[in-house]
Amino acid sequence: AIILVVTRIPQIGIKGILNVTTPPFAIAINSIFGVEVGFSWKWAWNPGVLPFILVALLIIPLHKMSGERVKAAWKETFSMVGGAAIALLFGIAMVQLFKMSGAEFNNSGMESMLIVMANGLADLFGTAYIIVAPVIGVIGAFISGSATVSCTLFSTLQYAAATRLGLAPMLILAMQVMGGAMGNMVCVNNIVSACATCGTIGAEGRLMRSNVVPCLIYAALTILILGGLIITGFNPIA
């Protein structure tokens, strides 16, 4: 806990050293298959590495663990996170494909998949889009594993659809944020990770089904409250 706090307080000075996008505290990938991506993994800033992997290694001599005990602990750990890692790997890959499908990354001259979907959804649902907006946020969290990633992925889509339909973009984006938060309770990655951590592997389907009902209730409340404001013409930035 001390390591985590010390590395996150800017005034101490360690944060500025670790939170960089250049080696040796980051691994940079400039292109993949000839496509410029400009990706950088700040491993030293990742809490999974620092402090948690560091602490896991320090525990070995601190608790005077034998080689067999260390082997058993690491074997059990990898077996627990294996399923979650597979879900996370493909979920994150899909998010990156959506984000990097724009005209600047392809030779077709087409808009990104998000803009194409936004136009299609706007034309399909019209003003009834207020019912769809929070559901998109839920789906984003469901497939990506994070409300943050859901908003990063679909905020462009939501804003473009709202602008095309003349709806208040701020409220549509608020519905996206709330949908992303609600989607965490039915997110495949979160449920797999939770079951692996609690030792209840195999109960993922039952847990997801039980969470669908409260998720839909929250979505309905969001549609009633924010959708009502949109219908009345309320615009917080007008």
Phi, psi of 233 (to 5 degrees): 90, 10
Residue with tokens 């549609």: 223
Query: Which ranges in 63-168 belong to alpha helices (H)?
Result: 67-99, 113-125, 129-144, 147-165
CA distances from 183 to 41, 149, 207, 211 (A): 26, 11, 14, 10
Asked if residue 121 lies in contact with residue 169, where contact means CB atoms within 8 angstroms, the answer is: no
pLDDT attached to residue 84: 67
0.75 exceeded by the pTM? no
Angle between helices 204-231 and 169-183 in degrees, nearest 10: 170
**Predicted confidence (pLDDT) per residue in 128-168, tens digit:** 999 999 999 998 888 777 788 788 888 889 999 999 999 99
Write down the pLDDT at residue 207.
Answer: 86
Which residue has tokens 């969001």?
A: 222
pLDDT of 182: 93
- Residue located via tokens 């990655």: 189
Write out residues in the chain with pLDDT < 70, as ranges: 83-84, 87, 103, 238
